[in-house]
Amino acid sequence: MDDLVVIGLYRHGVTMDNERKAFSGWTNSMLSETGKKKLQLIQPHIPSYEKVIASDLQRCVDTAAILFPDSMIDRWPEFREMNFGRWEGKVHRELEHMEEYTTWIKDPFSNPLPEGEMYAQFSSRIAGGWRKWLDHLIVQGIKRAAIVTHGGVIRHLLTEVAPEKKEFWEWQTENGRGYELTGSISALRRGERCISLQAVPSTAKSNG
């Protein structure tokens, strides 16, 4: 089919908040030195793309600059992580005594985040960004493209478009790595699933 496209979904590198296991949604947590080094090791194994965009949060922009040094990176706020509201920057032990936190942990897809996003708001934002992205690829005639984004965004997109149906938490999203999906762009715009999915990069050895 001549309308096949390949879209890479990459998670940002390890951040300082990742290292201390803190909630980091809209917080501009920076890449750690370890995170930068791991990205540099992976970079030679990353496929090439005609167009690369990133979440506008700095950890994604910086990751894209390392993984795709020859690309001009556009920033798309639609592909930000979920906004964790008052829990941004906090770790589990700081929150575990709070009833609203334990309620949310039991069902994060239905329960609210104080001053943050409901999952329905998050998924609606991602869906809008995805439609806009597909339209952009059609208008520009782009066949290979990539998004550098966040773990939650990748998990949500894969629940919607991956060939194999899995629940949100069943998808693994390792820092600096991701998935490449191939599908008919017209079918994807209709809300159908892609025809194939593979982990990327495929030749780099996993660390840890």
> How far is 55 from 65, CA to CA, in rounded Å?
12
Strands 4-11 and 178-184: antiparallel
Global pTM? 0.94
2 band by pLDDT with thresholds 50, 70 and 90: confident
> How far is 134 from 64, CA to CA, in rounded Å?
20
The one-letter amino acid code at 96 reads E
3-state class (DSSP) for residue 107: coil
Query: Residue 202: what pLDDT?
Result: 78
Q: Is the pLDDT of residue 204 over 80?
A: no
Query: Residue 1: what pLDDT?
Result: 56
Q: Is the pLDDT of residue 83 over 70?
A: yes
Query: Residue 47: what pLDDT?
Result: 96
User: Computed over its alpha carbons, how large is the radius of gyration of the chain?
Assistant: 17
Q: Which fold has domain 10-178?
A: Rossmann fold (3.40.50)
Nearest in space to 8 (alpha carbons), one of 83, 61, 67? 67
Q: How many beta carbons lie within 10 A of that of residue 78, not counting itself?
A: 19
Q: Is the pLDDT of residue 25 over 70?
A: yes
Q: Are 62 and 30 in contact (CB under 8 A)?
A: yes
Q: What is the pLDDT of residues 107-163, one digit of tens each?
A: 999 998 999 999 999 999 999 999 999 999 999 999 999 999 999 999 999 999 999
Q: Is the pLDDT of residue 207 over 50?
A: no
Q: What is the pLDDT of residues 86-121, one digit of tens each?
A: 999 999 999 999 999 999 999 999 998 999 999 999
Chain mean pLDDT for the chain: 94
**What average pLDDT score do residues 160-177 get?**
96
Q: Are 187 and 161 in contact (CB under 8 A)?
A: no
Q: Is the pLDDT of residue 205 over 90?
A: no
Q: How many beta carbons lie within 10 A of that of residue 195, not counting itself?
A: 14
Q: What is the pLDDT of residues 51-81, one digit of tens each?
A: 999 999 999 999 999 999 999 999 999 999 9
Q: Is the pLDDT of residue 208 over 90?
A: no
153-187 in b/e form (b: 16+ CB < 10 A) is: bbbbbbbbbbeeeeeeeebebebbbbbbbebbbeb
3-22 in b/e form (b: 16+ CB < 10 A) is: eebbbbbbbbbbbbbbeeeb
Between 97 and 207, residue with greater pLDDT: 97
